[in-house]
Amino acid sequence: MEPAEYVIFGLCIVLFVGFIVNLLIHILAIVYGKWKLSRKLSPPVVEDLPGISIIKPLVGVDPNLFDNLEAYFNFKYPQYEILFCIQDELDSVIMIAQSLILKYPKVDAKIFIGDTELKGKKNVGVNPKINNMIRGYEAAKYDLFLISDSSIKMKEDTLMDMALHMTEKIGLVQQMPFVCDRPGFVSHLEKIFFGTHHGKMYLVANFLGINCASGMSTLFRKEIIEEAGGLAHFGKYLAEDYMLAQAVLDRGYKVLLCSQTALQNSGYTSLTTFHDRLIRWTKLRNATVVTTMFFEPIYQCIVQGLIMAFVTEYLFSWSPLVFFMVHVLIWFLLDYILLSIIQQGPLPFSKFEFLVGWILNEISYPILVCRAHWDPIITWRSRKYKIRWGGITTEVTSAPPSQSK
Ligand SMILES: CCCCCCCC/C=C\CCCCCCCC(=O)N[C@@H](CO)[C@H](O)/C=C/CCCCCCCCCCCCC
Ligand SMILES: O=c1ccn([C@@H]2O[C@H](COP(=O)(O)OP(=O)(O)O[C@H]3OC[C@@H](O)[C@H](O)[C@H]3O)[C@@H](O)[C@H]2O)c(=O)[nH]1
């Protein structure tokens, strides 16, 4: 063999091993997802449960917001407070928060209006969500605090489920991102994305103890975050969720998934908003964990299928077309099984709609990854940011403070 042939042969072997690893990741996600998401922890004596401060960062109103927030007033949980953090004093979300507080006078709930800058102090960093939450965080009276994004809808036993997972060695309990059943094809695309591509990696990373964060619903021990410099310390990062989880891991605590998924229930769904968000997250990942930049593209169904069709032809003389078709079919079936497990009930669409949605997602995702590489500027709610390697972020343009989605 010529030296060049050795190199090609070696590369093909590496790629083939990566392909097998991916198959194992898929199977592991299914097995772990089935176990994790169907496992209900039994509640101990109710009085033993710790109090929880729930921080709700709010910007703008959407048609589902009232219902989403109302769920927080009906938790089956003995001790908690709700801290609404509202960025803009002119935002009509204030009225929604106030009307809920009036409707449920027995629930301990407060409103904090304006980020730190509005109160004459300097913002703690560039991250607008942290700037918005900081006053609620400082006022939080319990040892555990939950950061819960505005679009999340919780069941009445979700807080209990999260708290039960917060055992001695655990420093952070998170919910795996998923979505509520909502009408419309784009919401189906979201469900398919979070229940297949995203869910697969999320489950396996969490099973292996790899930091794979999404800050939409996360329960923390306040003492750990205080030891790391307090929430303000994380204002310099845009991927504050990843950095917070890393701070917990660095201090020897574990990060755990709870058994309920984070049910995103935004009232607005559009293909552009969905794709822009995925592009923003891809940019966050690329800047924060550089290796994902190399691995993510080749861990897509179509890209991997094309590469492996040539690799297996070279190694085993298999027909590239037949290999590609079988590869896509197996991936599709495993994804359907995984989605059904994460959904934990009947899917709100037919198998045909799943097929169409899955194909669209698989074709569009590599394009979104390319778009993320093309333009490194990150746009979040009309503000623009640039992240340096390691995650430190600078804002490159400021928008008027009253921007919603
Ligand atoms: C043989 C090695 C295989 C490695 C394959 C790695 C391919 C990664 C592909 C997909 C990534 C899936 C995305 C996971 C969810 C991340 C959610 C997210 O983007 N969140 C951002 C916004 O909330 C947040 O700020 C993210 C920051 C960085 C996250 C870094 C995630 C690393 C994921 C690694 C998964 C490894 C799976 C392990 C397999 C052995
Ligand atoms: O300027 C802002 C933007 C957002 N937010 C709040 O931050 C939360 C998440 O906002 P969005 O829904 O726009 O964004 P995402 O769901 O994509 O956020 C996610 O990705 C980026 C991470 O840093 C976040 O922690 C995670 O929640 C909401 O509760 C929102 O009200 C602010 O408080 N201020």
Provide the residue-wise pLDDT of the chain in tens; the chain has 405 residues. 788 899 999 999 999 999 999 999 999 999 999 999 999 888 777 778 999 999 999 999 999 999 999 999 999 999 999 999 999 999 999 999 999 999 999 999 999 997 655 566 678 899 999 999 999 999 999 999 999 999 999 999 999 999 999 999 999 999 999 999 999 999 999 999 999 999 999 999 999 999 998 999 999 999 999 999 999 999 999 999 999 999 999 999 999 999 999 999 999 999 999 999 999 999 999 999 999 988 998 899 999 999 999 999 999 999 999 999 999 999 999 999 999 999 999 999 999 999 999 999 999 999 999 999 999 899 999 899 999 888 899 999 755 554 444
pTM over 0.90: yes
Assign 3-class secondary structure to 152-199.
EECCCCHHHHHHHHCCCCEEEEECCEEECCCCCHHHHHHHHHHHCHHH
Residue 241 appears among annotated catalytic residues: yes
Task: Name the closest-CA residue to atom 11, ligand 2.
Answer: 149
Q: Which residues contact 12 (CB under 8 A, 6 or more apart)?
A: 311, 314, 315
Q: Which residues contact 109 (CB under 8 A, 6 or more apart)?
A: 73, 81, 82, 83, 84, 97, 100, 101
Number of helices followed by number of strands (H, E) in the chain: 14, 13
Decide: helix, strand or coil at residue 131: helix
Tell me, what's the pLDDT at 398?
A: 57
Tell me, what's the pLDDT at 123?
A: 84
Residue whose structure tokens are 């550089």: 290
Beta-ladder partners of 170: 254
Closest atom, ligand 1, to C-alpha of 18: 1
Residue 96 contacts residue 66 (beta carbons within 8 Å): yes
Burial (CB count <10 Å: 0-12, 13-18, 19+), residue 374: exposed
* Angstrom distance (rounded) from CA 199 to CA 205: 10
Determine which helix (DSSP H) or strand (DSSP E) holds 329, and give its type and residue range: helix 320-343
Determine which helix (DSSP H) or strand (DSSP E) holds 386, and give its type and residue range: strand 383-387
Nearest to 222 by CA among 147, 164, 148: 147
Residue 280 CB: number of other CB atoms within 10 A?
16
- Enumerate residues lining ligand 1, CB below 6 A: 18, 21, 25, 198, 201-202, 204-205, 208, 210, 212-215, 239, 241-242, 281, 284-285, 288-289, 292, 295-296, 299
Q: What is the largest CA-CA distance in the chain?
A: 80
Nearest to 342 by CA among 18, 1, 4, 30: 30
* Angstrom distance (rounded) from CA 132 to CA 104: 24
User: ipTM above 0.85?
Assistant: yes
Residue 174 contacts residue 218 (beta carbons within 8 Å): yes
Burial (CB count <10 Å: 0-12, 13-18, 19+), residue 329: exposed
Burial (CB count <10 Å: 0-12, 13-18, 19+), residue 190: buried
Q: Is 384 in the pocket of ligand 2 (CB under 6 A)?
A: no
Residue 389 contacts residue 221 (beta carbons within 8 Å): no
Tell me, what's the pLDDT at 247?
A: 98
Tell me, what's the pLDDT at 404?
A: 42
Of 88, 115, 241, 335, which one is the catalytic site residue? 241
Q: How far is the CA of 285 from the centre of ligand 2 (A)?
A: 15
Residue 67 CB: number of other CB atoms within 10 A?
12
Tell me, what's the pLDDT at 390?
A: 81
